[in-house]
Amino acid sequence: MTMMTPPPLEQQEDEEMLVPHRELTEGPQPMEVLSAETVSASENQQVEDPPTLKYRWTIENFSRLNTKKLYSDIFHVVGYKWRVLIFPKGNNVDHLSLYLDVADSATLPYGWSRYAQFSLAVVNQIHGKYTIRKDTQHQFNGRESDWGFTSFMSLSELYDPSRGYLVNDTCVIEAEVTVRKVVDYWSYDSKKETGYVGLKNQGATCYMNSLLQTLYHIPYFRKAVYHMPTTENDMPSGSIPLALQSLFYKLQYSDNSVATKELTKSFGWDTYDSFMQHDVQELNRVLCEKLEDKMKGTVVEGTIQHLFEGHHMNYIECINVDYKSTRKESFYDLQLDVKGCRDVYASFDKYVEVERLEGDNKYQAENHGLQDAKKGVLFIDFPPVLQLQLKRFEYDFMRDTMVKINDRYEFPLQLDLDKDNGKYLSPDADRRVRNLYTLHSVLVHSGGVHGGHYYAFIRPTLSHLWFKFDDEKVTKEDAKKALEEQYGGEEELPQTNPGLNNTTFKFTKYSNAYMLVYIRESDKEKIMCDVDEKDIAEHLRIRLKKEQEEKEHKKKEKAEAHLYTIIKVARNEDLMEQIGKEIFFDLVDHDKVRAFRIQKQLPFNHFKEEVFKEFGIPVQFQRFWLWAKRQNHTYRPNRPLTPQEETQSVGQLREVSNKTHNAELKLFLEVEIGPDLHFLPPPSKTKEEILLFFKLYDPEKEDLKFVGRLFVKSLGKPTEVFSKLIEMAEFPPNEEIDLYEEIKFEPTVMCEHIDKRISFKSSQLEDGDIICYQKSLTSTNRNQFRYPDVPSFLEYVRNRQVVFFRALEKPKEEDFSLELSKLFTYDDVVERVARQLGVDDPSKIRLSSHNCYSQQPKPQPIKYRGVDHLVDMLVHYNQTSDILYYEILDIPLPELQGLKTLKVAFHHAIKEEVVIHIIRLPKNSTVADVINDLKTKVELSRPDAEVRLLEVFYHKIYKIFPPGEKIENINDQYWTLRAEEIPEEEKSLGLHDRLIHVYHFTRDSNQNQMQVQNFGEPFFLVIKEGETLTDIKIRIQKKLQVPDDEFSKWKFAFISLGRPEYLQDSDIVSNRFQRRDIYGAWEQYLGLEHSDTAPKKAYTTNQNRHTFEKPVKIYN
């Protein structure tokens, strides 16, 4: 199957890969790590509110579906037919695959297309806030009639019944589709329509673009940036001030969207950084800190503080004694709670809320001991520009994951922070300052915690006009879209048949405000000042105007290209300069020779005058040859121009020489120079004469160079020109030489020995052919050289490859490089790497290939002799890399590949410790072998203790592995393998005893449904017939060693399918557990309800070895 070429890199942003569905082949797919969001460049200008439909698809008996893919019913949006396509077991990946499909694509007319923005979601039926939703947009057409996410969510998460995505074996899919009635994006002109231009997206830089537009439209900030000292010698890519000045200048004066690559280069970012989506707040702080530092010692020092810095006072005040502690702190932005707050004022109320320090939490007051006290925050002053970061993303400790808060949260157009007699202000605040603010910009995040898109609504002049800045595109928007539609919250799905009393569905709005910028009314005139050219340094104006002129010149050239022909003239000097240095095959790189831009109507004879002016070669001494591309893909001079052809126009000549419609005419200029270095007329050329080009090879220096050209008789023999060739090479007169014809080099080198005894014609030599020659070598002295003859040298040159090696544990750091051959075998490569690293055994070297899209190592290393040649290690789809990663193993790779590696957590029976052990055994080993190996590594409570292996997943025991089970298929990537001693009581179960699961749980009081959340280490417990809860509690407390005061707060419940039934001390517990077997019994267990006081792990489990979250850093 042929894979689609991945979208261009500048169109990638979301965490998952957006693709047409295609049945994926096994093995890694393009964009393994990086995923892609279709950027706004593919979006079109909205004419009116587009029609939207929300569709809900309920799939029953989901886990029993035996089809590879499944389509939903068809639904309609403005007459267009759509359906959802799902791969329940993944499209050859271990993730659920989910796509939107044009249902009637097969019957639509040729050339159809339609544009849609849409979101797809798998609903969490227990906790709505954990619904996984992903947004994208696409231009659907005949080639790409479906689009979506190949790796939507992991199958392990989907099929885990405790996670809430599969309830009663039912899965609920939601789709929200907006079909736009559009004007073609490419015809939309942001500057013309709005007066403003956008910023180009580098891949995942929409978060940066929205922030930069916001800062640019604070004129005082822009003016300060313009006044930062820079010089004409600075380079934007190495100077943050100059790069920002350049960017702001172009935003102010350009007619088209502006690139940000110079700015990100000045940050010290590489391509990989531009494909990592970061947090707007984090970038804002880092950028402002960096600018603050760069402004020190300049006329604009202190601007950042002046604009954005406010101060608050943290205080603790004792209630019963006269003692108060205060601390003044500054802030550049404020983080406001969204959860539990209806609007900005409620967030400020919460911010200054007084906390009581009493009981066990009394305050240790200096000289007063423990005291009841009040603790809180009040504001000393607010800045002229107030930046409010809304806490839309929070860490959910119950789920041990980040979640996005999409709750409705209102924010006013005018914000009065003096309200209620200045309740937010400290006693030290200057009450003469009126803290009334007007809204300047709203930064929006659209999507979920797994990825999304940023854009901004801005009022550049604080008038009633709002503009949406979405990467390249700027559009006029009304106030409702900028304010109310960004509050978030829920929206009801309209009933399709209102009279039938249908169930009402509510959909969460995943686009909502993330950051707000307010400007104080009293500072408005100063902040919203005029910024014009006199604020911009002269050298910057000159530099950028020159850039603009060059751009306009290129644009003009492009527009007039049809009137001109580019003539590229290669000369002997070019061949001398390039062969053996820049090129080795053919004769010249035409992109590096003198090019003339000539009007097509100009007679060629007049062009020869231009050549005279350029090279000083009189017209009568010039003879031009046409180049021809041969069938073997080589490019050689073919024939000289005839006198009649030289009377034609340049345009006519190009058409004769080049049947492909390209604007270039390639020529070779033949010039003869006599012994006295004067020009000579071109020699007459008969049909019996051919023009040959000669290269000389020196095996000792491994050097190839061009030495000249000769006319030879077609029927003559090579020996007739030996004396001339020896003279050209400066060899002794009687030197023996060997000749080879360079025939081709694609896809492989073809260079054949020429028989000196037969004619050139018999050797099939013709005009433009290349002969390489060298001194003849004896069989003895051939062994002195790595590449003794021309064919071996050309083979080497064609296949040589410099490879940059990096240690796998440091994938961003280059370690060393080696010059290798693409034809090296696997053994050749690891042998050279082992030699470089000083490793005695090359089989202990393991290599991993490079993913050209993610700029990371591929997750699966190269198997021992798993590829034939180096070139196979470097190819990644349609790209070739020059990077490999290495590991030094403690055992040979062939031996390791025959082993199964398992990570087993051993829980000691007596000590409070868990130790992770790495077990390596042959793949055909059994669980019993794992246990026996583990026993040699751990300390048991007694020598004859029996050990078992369990599968634990999300704090539940899913399986006890039978000793005879093969380990080859055991997966420890998602599940924890736990080993423990079998307690004595479990070995002698009575006839009426039960072995039950016991799990810790807590309940999320923030959720209406009070969902059970498991945590901690699950365990088994033997219960006797007739045993009361009181009896069992005694044993559990002893087993877990919980103090009395804490244990008294615990509650106990029988839990079946996530529903708790609380037990009384007198209840007979065994009556609830009627099943003897424990397999599948995680659905019924004894629950211990108490708070989770255990510290969170400092590491994250089940993490892909190359996936990591990277902080925003500006390096320069």
Active site residues: 206, 453
C-alpha closest to that of 218 among 297, 312, 291, 299: 291
CB count within 10 Å of CB 751 equals 21
φ, ψ at 157 (rounded to 5°): -75, -40
> Which residues pair with residue 713 across a beta bridge?
689
Q: Within the chain, how many helices (H) and strands (E) appear? A: 27, 60
CA pair distance 128, 490, nearest whole angstrom: 11
Which of 15, 21, 12 minimizes the C-alpha distance to 4?
A: 21
Report the distance separating Cα 228 and Cα 585, nearest Å. Answer: 51
Report yes or no: 826 and 842 within 8 Å, Cβ to Cβ: no
Parallel/antiparallel/unpaired status of strands 310-318 and 373-381: antiparallel
Torsion of CA 108, 113, 119, 120, to 10 degrees: 40
With beta carbons less than 8 A apart as the criterion, state whether 222 and 307 touch. Answer: no
DSSP 3-state of 726: helix
Both tokens assigned to 91: 């499209």
CA nearest to 25, candidates 89, 93, 87, 85: 93
Q: Is the Cα torsion angle 408, 409, 413, 419 positive or negative in sign?
A: positive
Token pair in block for residue 21: 């569905």
Task: List CB contacts of 309: < 8 A, sequence separation 6 or more.
Answer: 330, 331, 332, 383
Cα separation, 582 vs 585, whole angstroms: 10
Q: Are 889 and 904 in contact (CB under 8 A)?
A: no
Mention every residue, 6+ apart, whose C-beta is less than 8 A from residue 1072.
1054, 1061, 1063, 1084
CB neighbour class for 191 (10 Å; exposed up to 12, middle 13-18, buried from 19): middle
* Residue 863 and residue 784 in contact, taking contact as beta carbons nearer than 8 Å: no
The whole-angstrom separation of Cα 1001 and Cα 1018 is 10
**How far is Cα 441 from Cα 460, in angstroms, rounded to an integer?**
8
What is the distance between the alpha carbons of residues 62 and 886, in angstroms, rounded to a whole number?
43
3-state per-residue secondary structure call for 892-917: CHHHHHCEEEEEEEEECCCCCCEEEE
Return the SS3 of 263. Answer: helix
List of long-range contacts for 716-721, beta carbons under 8 Å, 24+ apart: 716/759, 716/760, 717/756, 717/757, 717/758, 717/759, 717/760, 718/754, 718/756, 718/760, 719/756, 719/757
Closest to 273 in 3D by CA, of 856, 858, 1110: 1110
What is the edge-to-edge ordering of all strands in the sheet holding 994-1003? Answer: 1012-1023, 994-1003, 1084-1089, 1051-1056, 1059-1062
d(CA 450, CA 448): 5
Give me the residue label for tokens 């009065």: 416
266 phi and psi angles, rounded to 5 deg: -65, -25
Token pair for residue 517? Answer: 């910028």
CB 1065 within 8 A of CB 1029: yes
